[in-house]
Amino acid sequence: MCKLKQFLLIALLFSLSCNSILAESNTQTVTPHLTVIAGPINGALLQKNGKILAVYGDPRDPAINADMVLFTHYRRDVAWAGVKLARNGAQAVVPKNEESFFSGVSQFWSEFSVKRFHDYYQQTTKILTQPIPITKTVEDGETWMWEGIPIHVLATPGYTRDAVTYILDIDEKKIAFTGDLIYGDGKILDWYSLQDAIPEAKIGGYHGYAARTAQLIDSLKKVAEQNPDLLIPARGPIIRNVQQSIARLIDRLQKAYENYLSIDALRWYFKDEHIQKKAERVLGPSTRINWMSFAETVNENLPPWIIPITNSRLILAQDGSGFLVDCGGKRIIDELIKMRIEGTLQSLDGLFITHYHDDHTDQVMPLVQEFNCPVYTIRELQDVLENPAAYRLPCLTQNPIPDLKIMEEGALFKWKEFKLTFSYHPGQTILHGALLVEKENSESIFFIGDSFTPSGIDDYCLQNRNLLHPNHGYFYCLNALRKMEPNYLLINQHVDPTFRFSRDQIDHMINVLNRRIELLRDLFPFDDPNYGLDEGWARFYPYWQTVKAGESFDLTLRIFNHSPCERTFQTALNFPEGWKEKNGEINVVIPSIHEAEAQYHNITTPKNTKPGIYVITADIQSADWDLREWTETIITIE
């Protein structure tokens, strides 16, 4: 729990906000026939005529024997409570369009071994590790009877693409079981789960920041129209002020989304027409966003010593030597070879990698083979470039890059007539760098990778982990821009002109982000809003590894404590049957805004383990949080 810091009021607010995920089970009689067991997941048990119907499942161990269990969506961090009932013989009822996430999970994990690279869809991997048998699938508008009680199905997409809500009339009460559509009085568990494409705005999944917010709002309105007496969500308290809580959540979602749009980098790429469509989906027709004015675009044509090659830039010295920034496509290499043949490029003296995304790294090794040049990057990028398969992040390349020359924060060296300064720059993604290039008696160019466009910040993919802490994420980047000389120029390699922000624009973006923190603090149930933005706050390293049957291996669970206080995290792993480990539960004490590790050693697989893909998950508890099967790692047995 939060410790007393400076003021009693602050401590009180912290303690009140730490009510996010109930850890202890308790039983509440809602109606004569309906009992809710509050725990990590709410177990709603309806008993009639000697039979038991469960919604969500039963969080207790051992669980009750039920006749039927209703799943609102496929997420394993909820579904685990119902899966054990289904394995004990309960009839499993699932949304029709999510059936494959219950019965076809083996195929999902097999295909994901390839799809996790070059992943531009960014859908959750909180998928069941093993399939369960399905008795019935349901879809929107369907009604069927269970022991004389009508069960009505509403399609309520949002938290997942095809989630449903079950509405039951029980003991003269209309009760809606809404899954993760809403949490408590106008909150939602997170925003990263809503990342998705927006086809009508021609925006793909990678660029669709919390795009299913629109569907979520429509679903909330749909539930409100049913005028239920109670909402029983999958997690959190029973909601009794239904209309008020729904209205409050919609208002909070809209305010937070409007804040995001106001400094959205995509406005530069997609222009106002497409961004307006994106806005109206969430905020309503004829919405007008208080957009920041575009940054000053300084040079439509780059200085002659900077050669644009697709989304790469070549710095060309007077003697014909070159220094390249990023290499993601074969066309870049082809153009450099052409320049060498023509005599424009005498040698390639180095390559700097701004960040790990495949469109900036895929062709690095062919470039090195062709030009025999060193590859420079910052310390924070070293491991993801050398071992991309160890990570679960957007747009990963499959091509490791060895023998990197690592540059520390602020490191500089003289190259030809240029001074190069290397820096960490966690903009578009948490693992991102930048390069300041200063030419003697000429321009100073700050190569910022994909971190900014003239319309704002490139934080449109939540899985990139754009943290909202002081001196982290875009606060770190904007503070760096504040320190630049007044005539600095920025280059994003996807943007043709150089540009720069005024001091007022930099301050405005900082203010927007500070306001965002407050808006998201109201939206999420955790004691810090970063838990609702950062899916990677708890993650395995490595994410994927290959071992032989009978061999032992190690795993590390990395946890970032976003809370404003020290926290103790209890971690326990869930293994395939027969796998052994000696560590048991591991407790990790982590200071505020720091990361630490739980290390699991000598995990042993049985010698008769069949070749294939196996998934290990982690349960994480901290004070009143209890998050089951929260994150995963994948093991391939050869």
> DSSP secondary-structure letter at 35?
E
Q: Are residues 109 and 145 in the same domain?
A: yes
Q: Are residues 205 and 161 in the same domain?
A: yes
Q: Are residues 221 and 257 in the same domain?
A: yes
- Report d(CA 444, CA 500) in Å as an integer: 11
Q: Among 529, 564, 596, which residue terminates a domain?
A: 529
Burial 64-92 (b: 16+ CB within 10 A, else e): bebbbbbbbbbbbbbbbbbbbbbeeebbb
- On whether the CB atoms of residues 128 and 102 are closer than 8 A, the answer is yes
Task: Please give the pLDDT value at position 572.
Answer: 97
> What value does the mean pLDDT take over residues 121-136?
97
Q: Which amino acid is at 394?
A: P
Gyration radius from the chain CA atoms: 26
pLDDT digits (tens, 9 = 90+) for 428-470: 999 999 999 999 888 899 999 999 999 999 999 999 999 999 9
Q: Are residues 521 and 576 in the same domain?
A: no
Q: What is the 3-state secondary structure (H, E, C) of 344-395?
A: CCCEEEEEECCECCHHHHCCHHHHHHHHCCCEEEEHHHHHHHHCHHHCCCCC
> What value does the mean pLDDT take over residues 37-56?
98
Decide if 582 is inside a domain: yes
Choose between 624 and 4: higher pLDDT.
624
> What value does the mean pLDDT take over residues 401-412?
98
Would the pLDDT of 16 be above 60?
no
Task: Please give the pLDDT value at position 624.
Answer: 87
Would the pLDDT of 15 be above 80?
no
Task: Please give the pLDDT value at position 24.
Answer: 43
Q: Are residues 393 and 499 in the same domain?
A: yes
Decide if 627 is inside a domain: yes
Decide if 281 is inside a domain: no
Decide if 288 is inside a domain: no
Choose between 1 and 434: higher pLDDT.
434
Q: Which percentage of the chain shows pLDDT scores above 90?
A: 91
Task: Please give the pLDDT value at position 274.
Answer: 81
> DSSP secondary-structure letter at 301?
S
> What value does the mean pLDDT take over residues 610-621?
98
Q: Are residues 494 and 549 in the same domain?
A: no
Would the pLDDT of 270 be above 70?
yes
Please state, rounded to an integer, the average pLDDT across all residues of the chain. 95
Three-state DSSP class for 629? strand
Please give the structure tokens belonging to residue 170: 């029980």
Q: Are residues 468 and 609 in the same domain?
A: no
Give the count of domains, the chain: 3
Decide if 285 is inside a domain: no
Q: Are residues 559 and 449 in the same domain?
A: no
Range of the domain at 594: 535-637
Residue 106: give its domain's CATH number: 3.60.15.10
pLDDT digits (tens, 9 = 90+) for 228-269: 999 999 999 999 999 999 999 999 999 999 999 999 999 999
Q: Are residues 312 and 246 in the same domain?
A: no
Task: Please give the pLDDT value at position 18.
Answer: 39
Q: Among 218, 236, 262, which residue terminates a domain?
A: 262
Decide if 272 is inside a domain: no
Q: Are residues 499 and 543 in the same domain?
A: no
Decide if 269 is inside a domain: no
- DSSP for 516-564 reads HHHHHHHHSSSSSGGGGT-GGGEEEESSEEEE-TT-EEEEEEEEEE-SS
Q: Among 480, 513, 529, which residue terminates a domain?
A: 529
- On whether the CB atoms of residues 534 and 463 are closer than 8 A, the answer is no
Does an H or E element contain 170, and which?
A: strand 164-170
Q: Are residues 482 and 582 in the same domain?
A: no
> What value does the mean pLDDT take over residues 145-169?
98
Burial 240-259 (b: 16+ CB within 10 A, else e): eebeebbebbbebbbbbbbb
Task: Please give the pLDDT value at position 25.
Answer: 54
- Report d(CA 1, CA 115) in Å as an integer: 40
> Which range is least confidently modeled, 274-288, 450-464, 604-618?
274-288
> What value does the mean pLDDT take over residues 175-188?
98
Q: Are residues 491 and 542 in the same domain?
A: no
Residues 6 or more apart whose Cβ sits within 8 Å of residue 473: 426, 427, 430, 466, 467
Distances (CA, A) of 50 to 62, 68, 71: 20, 13, 21
Decide if 548 is inside a domain: yes
> What value does the mean pLDDT take over residues 584-607?
97
Residue 617: give its domain's CATH number: 2.60.40.10
Work out whether strand 347-352 and strand 375-378 pair parallel, antiparallel, or are unpaired.
parallel
In this prediction, residue 227 has a pLDDT band, given cuts at 50, 70 and 90, of very high
Closest CA to 147 of 31, 33, 30: 33
Please give the structure tokens belonging to residue 195: 């990342």
Cβ neighbours of 366 (radius 10 Å)? 14
Residues 6 or more apart whose Cβ sits within 8 Å of residue 5: 11, 14, 564, 565
